[in-house]
Amino acid sequence: MPRVLRDFLSVGLPVVAIFALLPLVYANQLLLFNFVLFLILAQGLNAIYGFTGYLPFGYVGFFGAGAYGFALAVMHLAAPPALALLLAGLAAVLLGMILTPLLRLSGAYFAIANLAAAQAVYQVIANPALQDITKGPYGVSLASVFAPKASYGAALLILAGVLALVAWLRHGRFGLALQAGRDDPVSAAMAGIPVVSARIIAWLISALIAGLAGGVFAWHISVFYPETAFDLSTSIFAIVFTLFGGAATLSGPIAGVILLYGLYNVIGISVPQYFQLIYGALIVGLVLFLPRGLASLLQRRGIDVP
C-alpha cells in the first residue's frame, strides 16, 4: 500500500471518525468543534512551517480573512454556505498571494512582518469607516445560515481533506522537494528543485487551509467580532500545538492539539492568564530544546513516526 494511503488510513481517518462519533456521546458540540478547528489549523501551519521552516506568527490573518470572506459572501451575495466556504478559502489565498514577498525575509523578520500584516488586515476590517461592508468593529451575525450540525460536518470534511493533503506532502514528490528545500535550499536548487516557487505553493496551500477553517468557524459560530476572528492566540495555539507534537509529521500536530488543547480545557479556562504564560514559555522551550517536538523523541530511537 502506498505510504500516503497507509498514513491517512492509520492516522487521519480514525481521527475524523472519532470526531464524527463523539457528538453522539458528548453534548458540548462547541468544544468538539473547536478541537476540529485546531486540528485543521495545526495541520495548515504544519504545511508551511513543517515543510518549509517558515513560522508565520500572523497565521490568524488567513483565518480572519476566511471568516470575513464567508461573512461577506453570506451578507452581500446571499451565497449558500458551501459557496461561501469556497470564497472564504479564496479570500485567504488572495491574501497569501499579496503576502508572498514576505517569503523573501527569513527567520524572525518573516515572523514579525507576517504578524504585522495580520494586524493590518484586522485594522482594515474593524475600521468603522467600512461599517457598511464589514460591519466594522460591531461584528457580524449570520443567523440566516446557522446550522451547527451541517457546519460541524463541513469542518470534518475539511479536516479529512487536510489530513490527506499533509500525508501526501510527507511522502509525495512535491512534499519531499519542499523538505529538501527546507533542509538545504542551496543543494535543493542544485538538485533541480525550484525552491522559491515550491515554497510559494506551500504558503498558498497553508493559507487556503486557514481560510477554510475561518469560513467554517464563521458558519458554526455565526456571531463574531473582528477581534475574535483575528485573535492572536489562534496563531499561538496552532504554533504551540504543532511544535509540541512535531512538525512535518501527520500525527505530531494531532497529538499536540489533543494533549495541549485538552489540558487547556481542563485547567486553562479557570486561570487563562497563567496558561498564556505557560504557552509562551513552552514556545521558547520547544524551539530551544525540542525543536522537532514529541515525535522526535521516537524518531531519535529510529521509530518511523507517521
Partner 1 sequence: MSPDSSSPDRLLTVDRLVKRFGGFRALDGVSFALGAGEVLGLVGPNGSGKTTCINTISGLYPPDGGAVRFAGQTLGGLASHRRARLGINRTFQSPRPFASLTVRQNVALAAAYGRRHGAGTGGADSAALLAELELDHLAGRRAEDLNSAQQKQLDLARALATAPRLLLVDELAAGLNPAELGRMAERLAALARGGMALLVVEHLLSFLDRLTDRVIVMNAGREIFEGTLAEATRDREVVRVFLGGDHAG
Nearer to partner 1, 22 or 180 (CB): 180
Angle, helices 148-171/81-98, rounded to nearest 10 degrees:
40
Given 195, 250, 257, 295, the residue binding partner 1 (CB under 8 A): 195
Nearer to partner 1, 1 or 186 (CB): 186
Q: What is the distance between the alpha carbons of residues 180 and 206, in angstroms, rounded to a whole number?
A: 18
Q: What is the distance between the alpha carbons of residues 26 and 20, in angstroms, rounded to a whole number?
A: 11
**Site membership for partner 1, residue 192 (CB under 8 A):** yes
Give how far Cα 85 sits from Cα of 65, 145, 180, 228, Å: 11, 12, 33, 18
136 Rama class: left (phi>0) / alpha (psi -120 to 50) / beta: left
Q: What is the distance between the alpha carbons of residues 262 and 136, in angstroms, rounded to a whole number?
A: 33
Grid cell 481517518 — which residue? 13
**Site membership for partner 1, residue 180 (CB under 8 A):** yes
Given 2, 80, 194, 285, the residue binding partner 1 (CB under 8 A): 194
Nearer to partner 1, 29 or 179 (CB): 179
CB of 103 to partner 1, least distance (A): 16
**Would you give the binding string for partner 1 spanning residues 230-259, x where CB under 8 A is met?**
------------------x-----------
CB burial class (10 A; 0-12, 13-18, 19+) of residue 99? buried
Phi first, then psi: give them for residue 284, nearest 5 degrees. -60, -50
Given 116, 149, 183, 265, the residue binding partner 1 (CB under 8 A): 183
Interacting positions 107-136 with partner 1 (CB under 8 A): none
Nearer to partner 1, 258 or 298 (CB): 298
**Site membership for partner 1, residue 173 (CB under 8 A):** yes
Residues that bind partner 1 (CB under 8 A): 173, 176-177, 179-180, 183-184, 186-195, 248
